[in-house]
Amino acid sequence: METAKVAIVGFGTIGSGVARLLLDHGERIARHAGKPLELVQIVDTDLSRPRDLKLPKGLLSDDLSKVVDNPEIEVVVQLIGGLEPARSIMLKLLESGKDVVTANKALLAEHGSELFDRARQLGRSIAFEAAVGGGIPIIAAISECLTANQVQEIHAILNGTSNFILTRMEEQGCNYAASVAEAQQRGYAEADPTMDVDGSDAAQKLAILAHLAFGARVDWRDIPRTGIDTAELPDMRYAKELGYSVKLLAVAKLAPEGLELHVSPTLVRHGTPLAEVRGAYNAIRVVGDAVGRVFFHGPGAGQMPTASAVVADLIDTAVGRMAITFRTLDLWSDDRQAPVAVRNPAKVPGRFYLRFNVDDRPGVMAEIAGILGRHRISIASLIQHETEEETDGVVPLVIMTHTAKEGAMSEAMKKIGELSCVHPGTIRMRVRE
């Protein structure tokens, strides 16, 4: 019987999950692929690291040429993190005639056009379902299942680590540092968790989704982003009091003025599906002009969910489906003009949650409200809890605004920050209804 010979390059947590699926569930995979997928080689520079599965003798090597020079290997799962040597190795694999499956969103966000152009020139494909949303099949959904639509909006929770941390803080009152450490220990976080908590990981994923859904050519660094690294427990409590949960939300929204793009901690109203996404789960709410609202929810990080997406790509590639999708999608092609322009972030409207640490004395509220008013920002509600008489202390003041332009909000915040009654530590978050 014909078999497809496959290899894994980069054998960490996800690689072990992929190997486990291929080795322990070969029969099921053969049934779904119409032919067996035979794992013939695994390559990693570290042969001594303890791994959580037993491999047949001789399968693991530190010699990449065993893959590159083996013409029988058709598809390679490349699970090397970071940019280099991941980029060079992917080019080498493509040039030696292999199709590639990857989970490396940073590599695609950074070098997508070079890698995809090279793959196209060579008649090869690159599959990347696992790069966004972990186990959620969002790449296939947008690039295949929803192609009858003009996607109009994407609102998404794309970083499992951040969502895990926010959930821990909100539900258990855990502190930030302990929650980050636990996310790392569970294998959700990137090697450098800064990318998770400062919004970079979500921005890279949003750049990929915006490219697929809107044809946007955007460098992820140009996406305005704020992370959860300034998240504090009092904001979780105020959000709850106001009827919201805090989520790191990635937004891509089409308007006549262009495509609105940003990643920011956002108050999401209780009772809406996005507010209910807990732990390391991800969710993506897509609005299409024909289908209406569709909602995807599932594990956004972790070994087996990510391996699930990788192996699905492996099957698609081995049976030839990926080659067709890859050809027709024409992804990251420099030959194609981007059909949408990115909207000026200063002009993007939104509602805001603001928390100031202010002197507890007469006139403070009037000073802040005056600046907001002069910037045409209307207050929707506010919280200042009662304090002891005559404390002369610093107290938190929370303001929810009506819709305002991002640019006006930034200017007002700058002016408010200059007031002598306002102390450091101001928090600004977006609000989504």
Distance, in Å, from the CA atom of 130 to the CA atom of 133, rounded to the nearest integer, reads 7
Please count the residues of this chain forming the interface with ligand HSE, following the rule CB under 6 A.
10
**Hey, what's the torsion of the CAs at 17, 20, 25, 29, to 10 degrees?**
50
Binding part of the chain for ligand HSE, among 94-102, 188-196, 269-277, 341-349 by CB under 6 A, reads 188-196
| Least Cβ distance, residue 282 to ligand HSE (angstroms) | 7
Q: Are 291 and 146 a contacting pair, CB within 8 Å? A: yes
Neighbours of 348 (CB within 10 A): 21
Per CB under 6 A, contacts with ligand HSE among 226-255 are: none
Task: Please list the helix, strand and coil fractions of the chain in percent, rounded to the nearest 5, in that order.
Answer: 40, 25, 35
Cross-strand partners of 283 = 157, 297
Binding part of the chain for ligand HSE, among 28-36, 185-193, 384-392, 414-422 by CB under 6 A, reads 185-193
To the query of whether residue 205 is one of the catalytic residues in this protein, the response is yes
Distance, in Å, from the CA atom of 43 to the CA atom of 62, rounded to the nearest integer, reads 5
190 binds ligand HSE (CB under 6 A): yes
SS3 (DSSP) at 285: strand
| Least Cβ distance, residue 132 to ligand HSE (angstroms) | 8
Element (H, E) at 301: none
308 binds ligand HSE (CB under 6 A): no
Among the listed residues 201, 235, 260, 316, the single contact to ligand HSE using CB under 6 A? 201
Q: Are strands 281-288 and 151-157 parallel, antiparallel or unpaired?
A: antiparallel
CA 215 to chain centroid: 18
Catalytic residue among 205, 247, 253, 405: 205
SS3 (DSSP) at 49: coil
DSSP state letter for 337? P
Per CB under 6 A, contacts with ligand HSE among 264-303 are: 300-301
| Least Cβ distance, residue 252 to ligand HSE (angstroms) | 17
Of 188 and 356, the one with the shorter C-beta distance to ligand HSE is 188
Distance, in Å, from the CA atom of 304 to the CA atom of 111, rounded to the nearest integer, reads 26
| Least Cβ distance, residue 158 to ligand HSE (angstroms) | 7
| Least Cβ distance, residue 21 to ligand HSE (angstroms) | 18
Q: Compose the 144-163 pattern: x for residues touching ligand HSE by CB under 6 A, - for all others.
A: ---------------xxx--
| Least Cβ distance, residue 249 to ligand HSE (angstroms) | 14
Neighbours of 253 (CB within 10 A): 18
Of 198 and 201, the one with the shorter C-beta distance to ligand HSE is 201
The candidate with the shortest Cα–Cα distance to 253, out of 244, 241, 262, is: 262
Of 254 and 311, the one with the shorter C-beta distance to ligand HSE is 311
313 binds ligand HSE (CB under 6 A): no
Binding site for ligand HSE (CB under 6 A): 159-161, 188-190, 196, 201, 300-301
Please give the positions annotated as active site: 205
